Amino acid sequence: MSKKFRPATQLVRGGVNRSNHGETSEALYLTSGFVYDSAEQAEATFKNEIEHYQYSRFANPTTTILEEKLALLEGAELCRLMATGMAAVHAALLSTLKTGDRLVASRALFGSCHWIISTLLPRYGIVGEFVDGADLGQWKAALSKPAAMVLLETPSNPMLELVDLPAVAKLAHAAGALVVVDNVFATPLLQRPLELGADIVVYSTTKHMDGQGRTLGGAVLGSKKWVEETLMPFIRNTGPAMSPFNAWVVLKGLETLKLRVDQMCRNAAAIADFLSERAEIARVLYPYRPDHPQHALAVKQMSAGGTLVTFDVKGGKEEAFRFMNALNLVDISNNLGDSKSLATHPATTTHMRLAEEERARLGITAGTVRLSVGLEDVADLIEDLAEALDAISGAPAVRAAE
């Protein structure tokens, strides 16, 4: 497939490699191993003299189709799939870093990424340093010393804080660092990190790419040299491979990614506007709303505002819980990017393990709710949110004891 096609076309056509049966849909090669015509062919395969699949921990024809599709979509030289998004982040970092290296990361990271940097890497003598992702001065200070890697998420989970990708990439490269961007919230359709200066992009395919809540998966994309020389030996030997079955499910998900993400963004924008008018809500964060603190950056580096809306319910945990419990259509769940709209209370679930001060530093309050907007009719979603807000705006709950 030529690389000149637009994303919607790549999502449907990119990487397709039909077998001699001429199947329309991609074939599912649910096999762990492969056979050789002769002992000589096996030897030549292991010597890399011929191309032949060896073992699905290394590569599999179904996962290859998905890898090629994602690489074409992202504009990356190569992609490798992993069993989960966290396996992808872990492999990108651990395949590259060594004792004595420094890594600089934005503070507003997915919880497990935070754990890898603050708890796992120090065991191997790798120093992690966190900065406020929105503060270029902090990036500048941290990257005034040599660093091996930068890891950041933009927009971040759950406060939808942005990092200025070109500015940070420039500082990182001057410090000698590779820039790794976790692009899950934006998806490859709304933000193109490699064109904005990143070296490596990671995804949890569990989110929008599957998009229908079925499989766990991850992907790492980067240059041919880094993937072949650094990432591949690490994953061949440590084994975080994605199942061909999961790759096949994600292939089916990707065919509708653009339709879904475009509609979810339209729904999210309408919901953000609706919430901002409600007296029960203290603040709404949505990157494409003019009142987002980094609206200008959002418009510059993203092509739409995304599929998530984060907001603070007045009255803290008690009112946030009453609101969530009063939802009938929207489900309470910690997942995101699903066709079903999902509401999360970060302070007591996804971010409960962070210290109170760290949550406060990220801007997560007891009233913060993250809404992953799905594909239901937006009028039904707004009615559900309105009814739940009406349910809490009656007599305020008794707080005399506080």
Ligand X SMILES: *Cc1c(COP(=O)(O)O)cnc(C)c1O
- Considering the complex, what minimum distance in angstroms separates the CB of residue 185 from ligand X? 6
- Considering the complex, what minimum distance in angstroms separates the CB of residue 157 from ligand X? 5
Distance of CA 78 to the CA centre of its chain: 18
**Interface with ligand X (CB under 6 A), residue from 1, 216, 329, 391:** 216
SS3 content of the chain, % helix, strand, coil (to 5): 40, 15, 45
What is d(CA 80, CA 242) in angstroms, rounded to the nearest whole number?
9
Judged by CB under 6 A, the stretch of 80-88, 163-171, 303-311, 316-324 that binds ligand X is: 80-88
Check binding of 84 to ligand X (CB under 6 A).
Answer: yes
- Considering the complex, what minimum distance in angstroms separates the CB of residue 96 from ligand X? 18
Which bin fits 316, alpha (ψ -120 to 50), beta or left (φ > 0)?
left
Judged by CB under 6 A, the stretch of 182-190, 243-251, 260-268, 341-349 that binds ligand X is: 182-190
What strands, in cross-sheet order, belong to the sheet with 102-106? 78-82, 218-222, 200-204, 178-182, 149-153, 102-106, 127-131
Q: Which is nearer to ligand X, 101 or 153 (CB)?
A: 153
Check binding of 27 to ligand X (CB under 6 A).
Answer: no
Three-state DSSP at 174 gives helix
- Considering the complex, what minimum distance in angstroms separates the CB of residue 153 from ligand X? 5
What is d(CA 242, CA 170) in angstroms, rounded to the nearest whole number?
33
Judged by CB under 6 A, the stretch of 27-35, 202-210, 268-276, 384-392 that binds ligand X is: 202-210
Q: Which is nearer to ligand X, 87 or 269 (CB)?
A: 87
Q: Which is nearer to ligand X, 162 or 392 (CB)?
A: 162
Judging by beta carbons within 10 Å of its beta carbon (0-12, 13-18, 19+), is residue 229 exposed, middle or buried? Answer: exposed
Contact yes or no for 187/261 (Cβ under 8 A): yes
**Interface with ligand X (CB under 6 A), residue from 182, 210, 312, 319:** 182
Contact yes or no for 254/11 (Cβ under 8 A): yes
The CA–CA distances, whole Å, from 261 to 8, 177, 345, 358 equal: 11, 32, 23, 31
Structural tokens at position 41: 């062919």
Strand partners, 309: 371
- Enumerate residues 6+ apart whose C-beta is below 8 A from 148: 96, 97, 98, 101, 102, 103, 176, 177, 178
Check binding of 338 to ligand X (CB under 6 A).
Answer: no
Q: Which is nearer to ligand X, 202 or 297 (CB)?
A: 202
Check binding of 243 to ligand X (CB under 6 A).
Answer: no
Q: Which is nearer to ligand X, 83 or 227 (CB)?
A: 83
**Interface with ligand X (CB under 6 A), residue from 60, 64, 206, 246:** 206
**Interface with ligand X (CB under 6 A), residue from 62, 95, 204, 246:** 204
Q: Which is nearer to ligand X, 130 or 185 (CB)?
A: 185
- Considering the complex, what minimum distance in angstroms separates the CB of residue 112 from ligand X? 6
Check binding of 207 to ligand X (CB under 6 A).
Answer: yes
Judged by CB under 6 A, the stretch of 11-19, 27-35, 78-86, 256-264 that binds ligand X is: 78-86
Backbone angles phi, psi at 317, to 5 degrees: -60, -40
Judging by beta carbons within 10 Å of its beta carbon (0-12, 13-18, 19+), is residue 41 exposed, middle or buried? Answer: middle
The CA–CA distances, whole Å, from 280 to 47, 234, 277, 394 equal: 66, 50, 9, 10
**Interface with ligand X (CB under 6 A), residue from 10, 93, 110, 148:** 110
How many residues touch ligand X (CB under 6 A)? 14
Q: Which is nearer to ligand X, 198 or 392 (CB)?
A: 198
x/- letters, 85..104, toward ligand X (CB under 6 A): xx------------------
132-171 positions binding ligand X, by CB under 6 A: 153, 157
What is d(CA 9, CA 103) in angstroms, rounded to the nearest whole number?
37
Looking up tokens 């949550």, which residue turns up? 359
Binding positions for ligand X, rule: CB under 6 A: 84-86, 110, 153, 157, 182, 184-185, 204, 206-207, 216, 218
